[in-house]
Chain A
Amino acid sequence: MNREEVAEARRQVRGIISAYFNALDTGDMRALGEVFRYGRTRAQSSRSGAQVIAEPDEPYEGSERIIQQFVTHNYFYDGTPSTKHFTTNLTMEIHHETNRATSRSRFTVVQARPGFPLQPIVTGRYVDSFEWRAGRWWLVDRFEDCFLWGDVRHHLVDELRRRLQLPEFERRAPRAEIPDVPDHS
């Protein structure tokens, strides 16, 4: 792999990570499915990556399963989750011998809704693996570790929040106090 190929690999990996967030924030499930065509994703919840609160589920594999996961777990408002995902601390290693690449990054999700001012709602990190297949790079594995939790009542459905053991938000501000939470149906 020469210098240009390494640069191209880095550009594509960056592009895939951005494409994922764009797809999510705009509610473009078709684009999301395309990102994960050969990919799988696992998520866990921890405290700063040290004390695991909720173990990762079985990985979700392939476009259909992953789209289904998002549609089931997230609230959508006129088709979008009203979120922005920011990536920072992005580092990559391109392993040219094996046509694989790995990256680490942090994410911060912000959300705003009527009656819910713009604020960060969750942060965490990703560890991703990529593979060169059929003339381009693809995401093949994503590990998501959520570690600072804010108020995700307008983003994640009750069942998932329960599973992630996030009861403190119920205590801090009862859900009924904030209007405009749509039914997820």
Chain B
Amino acid sequence: MINPAGSLVNEQVIAAIVADLADAFDSGDARQFGELLRYARWRLIATGAEFVGTRGAEALASRSVRLYDGLPRTQHDVSNLLIEVAPSGDKATARSEFAVLQATEDLPLQFILAGHYEDAFALVEERWRLTSRDEHWDLIGRLDQHLAVVPGCETVGKGR
């Protein structure tokens, strides 16, 4: 997109990717989620699990979490988003805080997890792409309605 606003546009596109990731996950859109993660490695720092590319996206969004009629019944609120585009203009990093809300038949609406993301982006074939996301769990609530399995969960919860 040619736009006189320059790097503002890069930041807008990257902010949109961060929002799209939450949208795709929360609306159970596996195709879109896989596309967003095509060039990415997503690490759950708390558990050591890594999810790479479109195949990893499927494992993350479909097999690692509990779905209810195809939906996780979650909302990922992402805030405090800070984006830094490298001077070279083809790489960027971002940091954000997230809070996950969930409501199911057995779980009244509540916050189930809060943490932060450390993201990296790069221009791939002239499009901004997520290349890595480190997901840090800082405050842990009830995850039993969200995660299919919680490997190593007993070791998390010590803060940053």
Contacts of A6 in B (CB 8 A): 3-5, 8
Where the two chains meet, the residues of B that have a C-beta atom closer than 8 Å to any C-beta of A are: 3-6, 8, 12, 15-16, 18-19, 22-23, 26-28, 69-79, 99, 101-103, 105, 108-111
Beta-carbon nearest neighbor of B68 in chain A: A47
**A43 CB–B CB distance under 8 Å:** no
Picked from B6, B27, B74, the residue with its CB within 8 Å of the CB of A3 is B6
* A and B contact pairs by CB, cutoff 8 A, 30 listed: A1-B4, A1-B5, A2-B4, A3-B5, A7-B5, A48-B28, A48-B73, A50-B27, A50-B28, A51-B69, A51-B71, A86-B79, A88-B77, A89-B18, A89-B19, A89-B22, A89-B23, A89-B76, A91-B12, A91-B16, A91-B19, A93-B12, A120-B109, A123-B75, A123-B101, A123-B109, A124-B75, A148-B74, A148-B102, A151-B108
**A149 CB–B CB distance under 8 Å:** yes
Beta-carbon nearest neighbor of B18 in chain A: A89
6 further A-B pairs in the complex, CB-CB below 8 A; given A86-B77, A108-B99: A6-B4, A51-B69, A88-B77, A90-B15, A104-B19, A148-B101
A98-133, CB < 8 A from B: 104, 106, 108, 119-125
Contacts of A106 in B (CB 8 A): 22, 75, 77
**Nearest-CB distance from B21 to chain A (Å)?**
9
**Nearest-CB distance from A152 to chain B (Å)?**
9
Beta-carbon nearest neighbor of A3 in chain B: B5
**Nearest-CB distance from A179 to chain B (Å)?**
19
CA distance A101 to B18 in the complex (A): 19
CA distance A48 to B25 in the complex (A): 10
Given contacts A89-B77, A106-B75, A119-B110, whether A3 and B4 have CB atoms under 8 Å apart is: yes
**A168 CB–B CB distance under 8 Å:** yes
Q: How many residue pairs bridge A and B at CB < 8 Å?
A: 96
Beta-carbon nearest neighbor of A107 in chain B: B77
**A172 CB–B CB distance under 8 Å:** yes
Contacts of B4 in A (CB 8 A): 1-3, 6
What is the interface residue range for chain A against chain B?
A: 35 or more
Given contacts A3-B4, A50-B28, A91-B12, whether A150 and B109 have CB atoms under 8 Å apart is: yes
Beta-carbon nearest neighbor of B75 in chain A: A123
**Nearest-CB distance from B63 to chain A (Å)?**
18
**A49 CB–B CB distance under 8 Å:** yes
Asked if B27 and A121 make an inter-chain contact with CB atoms under 8 angstroms apart, the answer reads: no
Picked from A50, A120, A172, the residue with its CB within 8 Å of the CB of B71 is A50
Asked if A88 and B79 make an inter-chain contact with CB atoms under 8 angstroms apart, the answer reads: yes
Contacts of B71 in A (CB 8 A): 47-48, 50-51
A158-174, CB < 8 A from B: 168, 172
CA distance A51 to B111 in the complex (A): 22
Beta-carbon nearest neighbor of A125 in chain B: B23
Contacts of A10 in B (CB 8 A): 8
CA distance A147 to B26 in the complex (A): 10
Contacts of A122 in B (CB 8 A): 109
The 9 A-B pairs with the shortest beta carbon distances in the complex, nearest first, are A150-B109, A88-B77, A6-B5, A48-B71, A89-B19, A148-B103, A123-B75, A91-B16, A49-B27
